[in-house]
Amino acid sequence: MGPEQLVFVWLMLSSLGLFGVIFGWRYMRNRENMAMIEKGIDPNIKPERPRPAPFRNLKWGLLLVGAGVGLFFAYLLDNTLLYNIGHNFDKFENEHYVNGGNVSIYFALIAIGGGLGLIASYRIEKKELLDKQQDK
């Protein structure tokens, strides 16, 4: 199978997939509306928006801050302590290039930082919940 044929197959599959997603979305929406009509609910009335969740923003904020701190820490490690592992310098051509030896530390420290942010969010939420229960 040549590249032209693979492009044609990919185009056909992606078109069919897009059609299937749109058809499935409309079909499920119609079924939902029919179920609402059967229960006597007007499907044109939009339901009330849920109450704001105050800790959702805290959780996302701490997750992103933790990932950012992890990324910054990985950059510092890559360019200081682990510089000789991931960077090469060609003495004859006076060229500096990165060989990709420290790529995994970036992903690892982003995950660690994000996880620490989520743990911090959990502890803050738990402390707030316990304080509310003690006030009652």
- Distance of CA 35 to CAs 23, 29, 42, 46, 118, Å? 18, 10, 10, 15, 39
Q: Which of 27, 99, 110 is nearest to 69 (CA)?
A: 110
Q: What is the pLDDT of residue 100?
A: 67
**Among 57-61, 76-80, 89-93, 127-131, whose mean pLDDT is lowest?**
89-93
Please give the Cα distance from 101 to 84 (Å, whole number). Answer: 9
Q: 87 pairs with which residues across the strands?
A: 98
Which pair of tokens denotes residue 69?
A: 């701190």
Q: What's the average model confidence in pLDDT over 111-117?
A: 91
Note the pLDDT of residue 15. 96
Please give the structure tokens belonging to residue 1. Answer: 């199978």
Residue with the larger pLDDT of the pair 26 and 87: 26
Please state at what angle helix 103-135 crosses helix 54-79, rounded to 10 degrees: 150
- pLDDT of 93: 60
If one counts every other C-beta atom within 10 angstroms of the C-beta of residue 74, the result is 22
Residue 108 has pLDDT above 80, yes or no: yes
Query: What confidence tier does 26 reach under pLDDT thresholds 50, 70, 90?
Result: very high
pLDDT of 22 above 90: yes
Q: What is the pLDDT of residues 29-66, one digit of tens each?
A: 999 999 989 998 888 887 776 666 778 888 888 999 99
Alpha-carbon distances, residue 132 vs 59, 93, 129 (angstroms): 19, 67, 5
